[in-house]
Structure 1
Amino acid sequence: MSDIKDAHHSASSAADVEVATSFPIHKGTSSDVDIAASYADQLTGENAYPEKEWTRLRWKLDLRLVPLLWFNVTLGAMDKVTTATAALYGFRADTGLTGNRYSWVGSAFYFGYLFWCLPSGSLLQRFPVAKLMFFVQILWGCILIGTGFANNFPTLIALRVLLGMLEAPIVPGNFLVLGMWYSRREQPLRLGLMYTGLSVCFTGPIGWGIGFLAGEHQWRAMFWITGGMTIVWACVVGLFLPDNPVKAKFVTERQKAIVIDRLRADQTGVENKSFKKEQMIEAFLDPKTWLMFLFNIWISIPNGGLTNFAPLVIKGLGYTSQRSTLLTMPTGIMQTMSSYMCNGGVFLCAKYFPQKHCRTGWVMFGIVVGLIAAVFLYALPLNNYNGRLAALYMSYFYLGPYIVALGINTANTAGHTKKVTTNALVFIAYCVSNIIAPQFFKATQAPLYPLGMGAILASYVLSMITIAMYAAYCWWENRRRDAIDGQKDVRVHHDTDFRDLTDKQNIHFRYVW
């Protein structure tokens, strides 16, 4: 581990000496300093702010940032599953998707996402986050429009791979923005509002509407409409989403200092554009990274299978194509309820029981609900239409645990290079899972797909085991740090605040679980 030392820190206490023994410190340079460092000590003495001032500012931030981040996620969720709605209107026949080719079209998106996860993390560190989002969303809108002109399997595969590459920076970028503006206690509620399943409230009505179009190739309109929406939204992001608090124009200098002061106690920093090889290596050697990597492989199996095949499963119950598009809408409502319930539960626990750790408890609660639904979906007979439809909807409860776990990963990672590396690895796991999952849904097993349902059951069990191991590791590490940190109850630490240290390098950092 590299040494870290604050050039402004002098006269160590006995506790500081002990800390330095376990967490060596080197003399920092300008590249070690977070961009927010210049705002860190502006609000002392007569410049201190009351809690009401922060509350008013938080509302201002929420009204600007949460809708932008929400539609970023919703748009991506909508665009990547346009093929599922198109499949109800002759998409497979027109493009020669015989056998399991449709499954590979679903997986191709995640091959592109997988390939570009680490490079996109590097781009997010090197370039302004909001401007990068604007650029890639313009391109991905063009790719969607081009998909509406595709006529064969190879072209579709190429376009879906490109779409996955372009979407790779979006969700990790959202998490970076969220971490720049909100403390760890405030993030879960915003995360739940940001990450919902409401994309079906767009794909459902659009899919239902194109059923009224004349002609034999209605599916093409699905891609043209969603592509046009994406290009328009890119312009909105470019105009209204700030790159970081320091550069934001919609807040005053004092408000910037308040935001940064609220983040100080978390020891996570805001942003640093200098790539640090040692932080990347630490991310690869951290046990937490690989436990979260495995968890995201397991928990994303239901997503990869259900998002591509749910409309076909519903149609297999005897509904028309148009009715099937509308009947997919409750799946998004269930995902949203799961997100609100689990993330809202985490927020309330943090507010009323601040000394208690409950995040992994809410993850397990959501997994249990999804597990029970998957059991019914696997066991109910095909002619039990209402029961199977209800079980299908409830099986979408996986989204809440998934989002809470993403929030845990963000809250437990410090050091900007380590953040982007860890985010990239987590989304690589997401891609691997979504590539694998559609392959469990064999065309010959439609519409029951027993192998696919069995894979979902197994994934829930493995998810519970993995998140329990993650919580145990964080609990053990916090106890170890409490035993050697002589300043564990101090809010301001001049030796570590805004020095772009990783969670491993910073003795004052505590994990949430």
Structure 2
Amino acid sequence: MSDDIRIQEKISGGPTATAASDGDAHHVDVAAQYANHFTNGGETYSRTEEWRLRWKLDLRLVPLLWFNVTLGAMDKVTTSTAALYNFRQDTGLDGDKYSWVGSAFYFGYLIWCLPSGSMLQRFPLAKLLCAVQLVWGCVLVATGFANNFASLIALRVLLGALEAPIVPGNFLVLGMWYTRAEQPLRTGLMYTGLSVCFTGPIGWGIGFLRDDHQWRAMFWITGAITIVWAVVVGIFLPDNPVTAKFVQPREKAVAIERLRADQTGIENKTFNKKQMFEAFTDPKTWLMCLFHLTISIPNGGLTNFAPPRLGYTSQRSTLLMMPTGVVQTAASYLCNGGVFLCVKYLPTYQTRAAWALLGILGGLASTVLLRTLAVDDYSGRLAALYMAYFYYGPYVVSLGLNMANTAGHTKKVTTNALVFVAYCVSNIVAPQFFVASQAPVYPLGIAAILGSYVLSAVFIVLYAAYCVYENRRRDRVDGAATGERIHRETDFRDLTDKENVHFRYVW
């Protein structure tokens, strides 16, 4: 028995998965057919070749992933723009019914998080995203014909269920093509707040329509855009590197070889119950869930209640909300760009948690201003409201961190699903802190956001501390391992991060 295999058994508590994988193809990653292209015979690829491939991937994948996220962000807040145009009055959303319409979306998302994770593993990824977005667009169009609370609740629950696979699917695509060092920058580019560049002009434009068509047109227009985009995704987004038609066979081998050292694998279509149970028993999973439970409170509150509380006309409010997207984008670029630069130029330092904490402090300071500024200080409160959207940076960093620290395909989709369950619970709860009778200041809602920032800072620090502890424990067992070493008994064997002694966590 080799030293590597003995070490593997020490950390996993039993025989390594290598033997099982040799006899059962279901345990092997889909990338295995290309995994030995450069390890047999000493053949290699140049830095120029890798650079050209990376640009090719960026030009194809990043715009597709960006608009997938942007479309979801645009479509789920259509109710907040519609609320500026008699949406509440026309559909009988008196009292706190509007809050429940906002929460209903996340009930659907919550219910379908785990089933959608299973679907992402079992079905071709790009084709599933295409089908989901096609139906999603039809549901949005149907929302424009709704006339009462019951029909809105049903449609919003369905819309939430349809969005459940989108972001986890995006991160699976990202993990298939990019190394852990490259992912933060692409995550930042993928996750922006630029949906306001669509909702703002559309919201302003519908103000010129007849009164009885204004809010309905918001849903009809965004629904039509989504249907068209579904076709684009079906044509241009690949299911995985092995079946992708826009890259040549040698480029596929290069793409897969680049990911070898990360030990995260590419894809496996066979559901592994052992990996699912490991996701449920991994402390990292629950620390990340707690972080998302708290960091998403600002999202749930601000996206549903920010436009009506500005004190301006309906059309002007839609335009004045556009800078919130700029702040979200700046936060995402700053935090994720900072992570990328530190990984590239300071590789011995781990800074992901530090950048998340920086973003949390920015959001915390702006929320304090929202709580303390006078109600009639429109300019000051507007500026503070803009900066409150800085929570977006830490949120995006944590999504990339979760993907980078999870190996094993079933464990990936399960962990992603659990994190988005926490996200949904947070967004269901958050609007309930914004009590209608407390408008326009919403002191309880602002207090909830302040508390959520403090708790999220605690949880991200605990997550980083656990990663430090686990890495040091692995270093004692696997002292000879380095990030560049090839480990044939674990490469592309669909092992989880917990099973694989050579895996190291980033934080």
TM > 0.5 between the two?
A: yes
The two structures have a TM-score, normalised by structure 1, of 0.96
Determine the structure 1 residue equivalent to 2:30: 35
Aligned pair count reads 499
Determine the structure 2 residue equivalent to 1:188: 184
Determine the structure 1 residue equivalent to 2:445: 452
What is the alpha-carbon distance in structure 2 between the residues aligned to residue 21 and residue 425 of structure 1? 28
Aligned amino acid, residue 39 of structure 1: Y
What is the alpha-carbon distance in structure 2 between the residues aligned to residue 461 and residue 173 of structure 1? 30
**2:502 equivalent among 486, 496, 508:** 508
Determine the structure 1 residue equivalent to 2:9: 20
What is the alpha-carbon distance in structure 2 between the residues aligned to residue 337 and residue 89 of structure 1? 29
What is the alpha-carbon distance in structure 2 between the residues aligned to residue 284 and residue 93 of structure 1? 44
Equivalent pair of 1:184/1:411 in contact (CA under 8 Å):
yes
SS of corresponding position for 2:395: helix
Residue 217 (str. 1) matches residue 213 (str. 2): yes
Q: How do 1:94-113 and structure 2 match up within 5 A?
A: 94-113=90-109
Determine the structure 1 residue equivalent to 2:411: 418
Root-mean-square deviation (CA), in Å? 1.0
Equivalent pair of 2:338/2:355 in contact (CA under 8 Å):
yes
Of the structure 1 ranges 298-307 and 18-27, higher mean CA displacement relative to structure 2 is found in 18-27
Q: Encode CA deviations 1:418-444: one digit per residue, 9 max, x unaligned.
A: 000000000000000000000000111
What is the alpha-carbon distance in structure 2 between the residues aligned to residue 55 and residue 19 of structure 1? 34
What is the alpha-carbon distance in structure 1 between the residues aligned to residue 209 and residue 128 of structure 2? 36
**1:75 equivalent among 68, 71, 92:** 71
Determine the structure 2 residue equivalent to 1:167: 163
Determine the structure 2 residue equivalent to 1:354: 347
Determine the structure 1 residue equivalent to 2:145: 149
Equivalent pair of 1:85/1:311 in contact (CA under 8 Å):
yes
SS of corresponding position for 2:358: helix
Residue 481 (str. 1) matches residue 474 (str. 2): yes
What is the alpha-carbon distance in structure 1 between the residues aligned to residue 10 and residue 428 of structure 2? 45
SS of corresponding position for 1:37: helix
What is the alpha-carbon distance in structure 1 between the residues aligned to residue 289 and residue 322 of structure 2? 30
Unaligned stretches of 5+ in structure 2?
A: none
What is the alpha-carbon distance in structure 1 between the residues aligned to residue 43 and residue 489 of structure 2? 23
Equivalent pair of 1:16/1:486 in contact (CA under 8 Å):
no
Determine the structure 2 residue equivalent to 1:199: 195
The two structures have a TM-score, normalised by structure 2, of 0.97
Equivalent pair of 2:5/2:489 in contact (CA under 8 Å):
no
What is the alpha-carbon distance in structure 2 between the residues aligned to residue 61 and residue 234 of structure 1? 20
Instruction: Note the C-alpha offset of 1:43.
Output: 1.9
Equivalent pair of 1:487/1:508 in contact (CA under 8 Å):
no
Determine the structure 1 residue equivalent to 2:293: 297
Determine the structure 2 residue equivalent to 1:461: 454
Equivalent pair of 2:204/2:318 in contact (CA under 8 Å):
yes
Equivalent pair of 2:71/2:226 in contact (CA under 8 Å):
yes
User: Percent same amino acid at aligned positions?
Assistant: 71
Determine the structure 1 residue equivalent to 2:268: 272
Q: Encode CA deviations 1:464-507: one digit per residue, 9 max, x unaligned.
A: 00000000000000000001114412520001000000000000
**2:62 equivalent among 37, 49, 66:** 66
Residue 136 (str. 1) matches residue 132 (str. 2): yes
Instruction: Note the C-alpha offset of 1:102.
Output: 0.3
Residue 329 (str. 1) matches residue 322 (str. 2): yes
What is the alpha-carbon distance in structure 1 between the residues aligned to residue 33 and residue 243 of structure 2? 13
Residue 497 (str. 1) matches residue 487 (str. 2): no
Instruction: Note the C-alpha offset of 1:41.
Output: 1.4
Q: Encode CA deviations 1:10-37: one digit per residue, 9 max, x unaligned.
A: x513x64344233231422211100001
Aligned amino acid, residue 491 of structure 1: R
Determine the structure 1 residue equivalent to 2:362: 369
Instruction: Note the C-alpha offset of 1:386.
Output: 1.1
Q: Encode CA deviations 1:222-281: one digit per residue, 9 max, x unaligned.
A: 000000000000000000000000000000000000010010000000000010100000
Spell out structure 1 runs of 4+ moving beyond 4 A. Answer: none
SS of corresponding position for 1:36: helix
What is the alpha-carbon distance in structure 1 between the residues aligned to residue 362 and residue 413 of structure 2? 31
What is the alpha-carbon distance in structure 1 between the residues aligned to residue 11 and residue 315 of structure 2? 63
Aligned amino acid, residue 213 of structure 2: H
Q: Encode CA deviations 1:316-351: one digit per residue, 9 max, x unaligned.
A: x2x100000000000000000000000000000000
**1:397 equivalent among 367, 390, 403:** 390
Q: Encode CA deviations 1:136-190: one digit per residue, 9 max, x unaligned.
A: 1010100000000000000000000000000100000000000000000000000
Aligned amino acid, residue 404 of structure 1: V
Unaligned stretches of 5+ in structure 1?
A: 1-10
Equivalent pair of 1:19/1:484 in contact (CA under 8 Å):
no
Aligned amino acid, residue 53 of structure 1: E
Instruction: Note the C-alpha offset of 1:385.
Output: 1.4
Instruction: Note the C-alpha offset of 1:216.
Output: 2.7
Residue 339 (str. 1) matches residue 332 (str. 2): yes
Instruction: Note the C-alpha offset of 1:352.
Output: 0.4
Of the structure 1 ranges 127-136 and 481-490, higher mean CA displacement relative to structure 2 is found in 481-490
Aligned amino acid, residue 42 of structure 1: H
What is the alpha-carbon distance in structure 1 between the residues aligned to residue 393 and residue 369 of structure 2? 20
